[in-house]
Amino acid sequence: MTALAPRTGRIATTASPARLLVPQNPRTAVWHACATIVIWLTSLFVVALWVVGGGVTATIGFTAETLTTLGRLTGLVSANLLLYQVLLMARIPLFERGFGRDAMTRMHRFVGFWSFWLLAAHIVLLMLGYAATAAINPFVQLWQFVVDYPGMLLATAGTVLIVLVVVTSIRKARSKLRYESWHLLHLYAYLGVGLALPHQLWTGADFLSSPLATAYWWTLWAAAAASVVIFRIGMPLLKSARHGIRVTAVERDGDQGVTVRMSGRRLHRLGARAGQFFVWRFADGPGWTRGHPFSLSSAPASAGLSISARIAGDGTERLTRLRPGTRVLVEGPYGHMTGAARKGTKLLMIGAGAGVAPLVSLLEEQPYAPGDAMLITRDHAEGDALRLGAIGDLVAQRGIRFAPLPGPRSPGPSSWLPASHGAWRGAELIRHVAPDLDAYDVYLCGPIPWMASVEADLRDAGVAPDRIHSEAFTV
């Protein structure tokens, strides 16, 4: 263990002239380019449908037709984004490999809110445009939409469900819900999209304006539905049956943690790498269908897999009651916070709470010389620390430097540090533990606000953005 004094501590380093080859993955840029091109081409195609339908001409002058055509445009874009909501979270390999899990999560949230606001604009603009043309009260026109137009009752029900999902996805509202409750409510988004879109077949002129437009929308809807069935249901079930994963042991990990160990058949064919995560379902009784994302807490091996978690809610508390032999269903592996992202020869790992687990797995898997890897951990109390046994083995056998920083959060500008080290500037501490920063890749894992604080200090310390690797799991 490396002792890092509150302000003047010195860290002993082990010099090593060895240069280690770090694996690279040049295909990542190709996947990213392909995924980006697909999104841009489909988005531009939707706008082209509106232009061909006379949209630009209809906007000249502020008339009832202007409101109506803008309502058509917002409806087209909203429908496209709603379907991309489904595609982005369907675990499609194109997007998973092209963007990575954290970027997809951010995009899912961003696209979701924009699709909602455009949907609201679509309803309001069409209501005002049609009402102005018919010279009637806008609310009377809205009632006529719902009652008299084909498919609009279904669309209204779908819109209500989408509103429910959006409201509960606001961070303040979500923080008041149990994860299990929020996850169940979030699934209503699929039903909401399914109910909101079919009215286009009866009332959407832009959707039926040409055989090309009709083919586009039917193809996109079919792709979204097929993606959910194949990648969210079919492939996980097939993979789980093929590998026969079962719980072998459940161990307490620190005062507030648990580690679950599993075995199965031909686990190397899962293609998992240290730093990645799966969505896990444990068939131990009612509620097993709710999946939870947990990172691998040790380097994956053909002999078994393990996960570690801080006990903080129903999902993690349930892990403590698992029995050996419990069948396990998995989705994954997911995530790009792997050794393939490395560019340097040294490693600086900074983790908080359960975020330490994937960093330990990376340290077990990756090549580095003794003294060339540093692990900094943050916990509220010493007893909360996870994976101390595995960390001790890494210190003894592979020569990593380890600096635990327990205690309450610092009130200073570097809030990721403990109060005992509040006199340190975060960037200064980083340069202190890794004076040759150009040789390092930095891996972060922990709560999102905490990671943002660490990343700000890393940038101030001069770490290049492409040397900072992290992943988020929340929407």
> In one letter, which amino acid is 270?
L
Give, in order, the Cα–Cα distances in Å from 128 to each of 64, 72, 73, 204, 351.
8, 12, 15, 17, 53
Helix (H) or strand (E) holding 122: helix 101-134
Contact assessment for residue 431 and residue 437, using Cβ atoms and an 8 Å cutoff: yes
> How far apart, in whole angstroms, are the C-alpha atoms of residue 188 and residue 299?
36
CATH code assigned to 342-470: 3.40.50.80
Write down how long the chain is.
Answer: 475
Which residue, 194, 313, 172, 327, is CA-closest to 265? 327
Report pLDDT for 42.
81
Collapse the DSSP code of 364 into the 3-class scheme (helix H, G, I; strand E, B; otherwise coil) and give the result.
helix
Query: For residue 122, what are the contacts with CB-CB under 8 A and spacing of at least 6?
Result: 71, 72, 74, 75, 78
Instruction: State residue 22's pLDDT score.
Output: 41
CATH architecture assignment, domain 244-334: Beta Barrel (2.40)
DSSP of 388-456: HHHHHHHHHHH--EEEEEESSBPSSS-TTSBGGGTTS-HHHHHHHH-S-GGGEEEEEES-HHHHHHHHH
Rounded to the nearest 10°, the torsion over CA 217, 223, 229, 234 is: 170
What is the structure's pLDDT at 128?
Answer: 93
According to DSSP, the residues that pair with 278 across neighbouring strands are 294
In angstroms, the first-to-last Cα distance of the chain is 36
Contacts of 394 (CB under 8 A, 6+ apart): 360, 363, 364, 373, 375, 400, 402
341 DSSP assignment: G
In tens digits, the chain (475 residues) has pLDDT values of: 655 655 543 333 333 333 343 444 566 778 878 888 888 888 788 888 778 777 777 777 778 888 988 888 888 888 888 888 777 777 787 887 777 766 777 777 788 888 888 888 988 998 999 899 989 999 998 888 888 777 777 778 888 887 877 777 776 766 666 666 666 666 667 777 777 777 766 666 666 667 777 788 888 888 888 888 888 888 888 999 999 999 999 999 988 899 999 999 999 999 899 999 998 999 988 878 888 889 999 999 877 999 999 987 767 888 999 999 999 999 888 888 899 889 999 999 999 999 999 999 999 999 999 999 999 999 998 888 999 999 999 999 999 999 999 999 988 888 899 998 888 889 999 999 999 999 999 999 998 889 999 999 999 999 999 999 987 655 4
For domain 27-238, the CATH class is mainly alpha
> Residue 290 burial by CB count (10 A; 0-12/13-18/19+): exposed, middle or buried?
middle
The domain locations on the chain are: 27-238, 244-334, 342-470
Read off the pTM. 0.75
8-16 contacts at long range (C-beta below 8 A, 24 or more positions apart) = 11/401, 11/403, 11/432, 11/433, 12/401, 13/371, 13/401, 14/369, 14/370, 14/371, 14/372, 14/399, 15/371, 16/369, 16/370, 16/371, 16/372
